[in-house]
């Protein structure tokens, strides 16, 4: 713990400087936020470097470092394939194929949020409210996982009360998000992303140095498949070693491929908090400039997490004769926090780095959490409250955008701020009930749900001249229902954690079949796309 390993004075000074900068950037965002366009999309003129770091810090947070870093520590380097998808799909395809069109079309139709973009693209109040409701239902679980990841490291390092850590982190983030809007969020993301970047570089270098260099460390990790050997429980589900991929078609192989790699890799394309960042760019060239910075950032952050996690097994085995997951008592979410504290304790430089890395993990949690809270607040206040009120009053105008300090704009922004506060309360409540070893899976669950429900319609809105609202509605409904049924009643891990299958049907299972290990995304996303194409073709044939 930090009270035994580093000077609390050093940590206090570092943390105080960080909080001052955070609040200063929050105040900057508050001063720059005049209307909805400022609160939602930063006036569509965010600096490319800030955009890149904000996108990367929002995309990769404690979910990647703590959650997937821990999964890598438990199951091995197979998650490195996710790095490739994070960069190729989550960044290159996202920016070039989706980002530029989203920015251009979003500006043309005056979209301020991702649900607003979909609603105005299809001229459909139902689509806007449905997609916003999906955000409000699914995103608090993801937000709670992000908050839990940051809190786990704080508790492991500082030894402070977990409840106090949850409340403190929540209050700090809520303050600057509520009043500073997306400008405060993105500038703080840039600050926090820079801290994450430096922290991960040092972590990777020190890990390899401690373990005798790149070649020696990787060879030692490979040799662990023989001595001490893969734990019996993991071997039974297909694990072959920490530097090799699981046995083809084994339960672990299906989890790796369908949930961790495809679920998160593809799911990033339909993330509301990421899509809105395209609309903050001033031009297509701004997105091009952001692409290179974002690529380097993602490569370093996730590449380090997915490498250091497995290598922690060598460290723990050399020192304690146990694998990483054994040493932390079976909770993969604690592998990275415990490893960092073990690795750097004992020297002044190491103690100083624990403080810096603690700060980088807090930055990682705050960057994504702030973006998620901003997205949920905007969905509650702008997409749902304002539009339901307008439909009730009969004052809704398709494509309407509120500017300046008119009465409707002020009420909408106030509603978004109230929505943000309500969603942070919901997130905190859910965090208290989150089980252990849940961070990576919660990320995959939310990304899988949004991709299944929204990705086909989002793609259709970008490339169709006259997108058909009916096709999009049925596609969204199909993706949502199919994903929910598979997650609640078929998929083994999800259904066990949610408990509804056991409550209704008892201990039902599918012996000898891979169904219960296949992620819901693999079933729901194709069905959603098929329904969309069928409606489009059927509708065109009858025109």
**Average pLDDT score over residue span 463-470:** 92
Which tokens belong to 301? Answer: 């952050």
* Cα 353–chain centre separation: 25
Contact 168, 469 (CB under 8 A): no
Pair of tokens at residue 530: 């098929």
> d(Cα 332, Cα 159) in Å, to the nearest integer?
19
Closest by Cα among 166, 210, 155, 147 to 328 = 155
Q: State the pLDDT at residue 114.
A: 92
- The reported pLDDT for the residue numbered 3 is 45
Q: Give the three-class secondary structure for 370.
A: helix
Q: What is the pLDDT of residues 291-345, one digit of tens each?
A: 888 888 888 888 899 999 999 999 999 999 999 999 998 888 889 888 988 887 7
Burial state string for 382-393 with b = 16 or more CB within 10 A and e = fewer than 16: bbbbbbeebeee
Distance from C-alpha of 466 to C-alpha of 262, rounded to nearest angstrom: 30
364 vs 371: CA distance, rounded Å: 11
Rounded Cα distance between 228 and 251, Å, is 22
Per-residue pLDDT reduced to its tens digit, 344-401: 776 556 667 777 777 777 777 777 787 888 888 888 888 887 777 665 655 555 445 4
Asked if 479 contacts 525 with a C-beta cutoff of 8 angstroms, the reply is yes
Whats the size of the chain, residue-wise? 543
DSSP 378-419: HIIIIIIIIHHHHHHHT---TT----TT-HHHHHHHHHHHHH
The pLDDT tens digits of the residues spanning 495-537 come to 777 777 777 777 766 665 677 889 999 999 999 999 999 999 8
In this predicted structure, the answer to whether residue 130 has a pLDDT above a threshold of 90 is: yes
Among 86-95, 135-144, 341-350, 385-394, the least confident range: 385-394
Q: What is the pLDDT of residues 235-287, one digit of tens each?
A: 999 999 999 999 998 989 998 888 888 888 888 888 888 888 888 888 888 88
- Residue range 2-441 forms a domain whose CATH class is mainly alpha
pLDDT at residue 402 tops 50: no
Task: Compute the distance between CA of residue 428 and CA of residue 423 in angstroms, rounded to an integer.
Answer: 9
pLDDT at 535: 92
Q: Quick one: how far is CA 330 from the chain centroid?
A: 23
What's the pLDDT band for 407 if we cut at 50, 70, 90?
A: very low
């Amino acid at each position: 713990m930090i009270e035994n390993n580093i000077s609390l004075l050093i940590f206090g000074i570092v943390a105080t400087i960080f909080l001052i900068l955070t609040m200063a950037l929050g105040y900057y965002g508050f001063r720059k936020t005049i209307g909805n366009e400022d609160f939602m999309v930063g006036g569509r003129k965010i600096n490319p470097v800030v955009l890149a770091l904000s996108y990367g810090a929002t995309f990769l947070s404690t979910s990647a470092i703590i959650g997937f870093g821990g999964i890598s520590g438990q199951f091995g380097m197979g998650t490195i394939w996710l790095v490739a998808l994070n960069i190729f799909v989550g960044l290159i395809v996202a920016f070039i194929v989706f980002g530029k069109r989203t920015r251009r079309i979003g500006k043309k139709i005056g979209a301020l949020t991702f649900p607003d973009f979909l609603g105005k693209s299809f001229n459909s109040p139902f689509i806007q409210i449905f997609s916003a409701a999906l955000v409000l239902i699914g995103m608090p679980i993801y937000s709670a996982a992000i908050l839990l990841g940051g809190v786990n490291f704080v508790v492991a390092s500082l030894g402070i009360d977990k409840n106090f850590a949850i409340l403190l982190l929540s209050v700090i983030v809520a303050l600057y998000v509520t009043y500073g809007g997306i400008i405060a969020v993105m500038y703080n993301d840039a600050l926090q992303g820079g801290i994450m970047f430096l922290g991960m570089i040092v972590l990777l270098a020190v890990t390899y140095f401690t373990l005798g260099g790149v070649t020696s460390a990787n060879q030692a990790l490979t040799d662990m498949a023989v001595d001490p050997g893969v734990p019996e429980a993991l071997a039974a589900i297909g694990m072959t070693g920490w530097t090799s991929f699981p046995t083809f078609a084994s339960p672990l192989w299906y989890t790796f491929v369908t949930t961790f790699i495809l679920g998160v890799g593809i799911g990033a394309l339909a993330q509301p908090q990421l899509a809105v960042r395209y609309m903050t760019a001033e031009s297509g060239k701004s997105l091009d400039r952001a692409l290179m910075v974002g690529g380097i950032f993602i490569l370093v952050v996730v590449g380090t997490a997915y490498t250091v996690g497995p290598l922690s097994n060598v460290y723990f085995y050399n020192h304690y004769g146990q694998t990483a997951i054994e040493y932390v008592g079976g909770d993969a979410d604690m592998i990275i926090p415990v490893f960092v504290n073990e690795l750097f304790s004992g020297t002044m430089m190491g103690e100083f780095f624990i403080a810096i890395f603690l700060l980088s993990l807090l930055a990682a949690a705050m960057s994504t959490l702030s973006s998620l809270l901003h997205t949920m607040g905007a969905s509650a206040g702008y997409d749902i409250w304002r539009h339901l009120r307008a439909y009730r009053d009969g004052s809704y105008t398709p494509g309407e955008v509120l500017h300046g300090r008119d009465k409707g704009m002020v009420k909408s922004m106030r509603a978004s701020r109230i929505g943000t506060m309500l969603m942070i309360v919901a997130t905190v409540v859910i965090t208290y009930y989150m089980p252990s070893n849940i961070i990576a899976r919660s990320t995959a669950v939310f990304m899988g749900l949004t991709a299944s429900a929204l990705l086909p319609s989002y793609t259709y809105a970008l490339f169709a001249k006259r997108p058909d609202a009916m096709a999009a509605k049925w596609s969204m409904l199909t993706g949502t229902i199919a994903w929910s049924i598979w997650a609640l009643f078929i998929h083994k891990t999800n259904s066990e954690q949610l408990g509804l299958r056991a409550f209704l049907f008892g201990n039902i299972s599918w012996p000898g079949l891979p169904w219960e290990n296949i992620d819901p995304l693999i079933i729901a996303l194709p069905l959603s796309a098929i329904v969309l194409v069928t409606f489009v073709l059927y509708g065109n044939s009858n025109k």
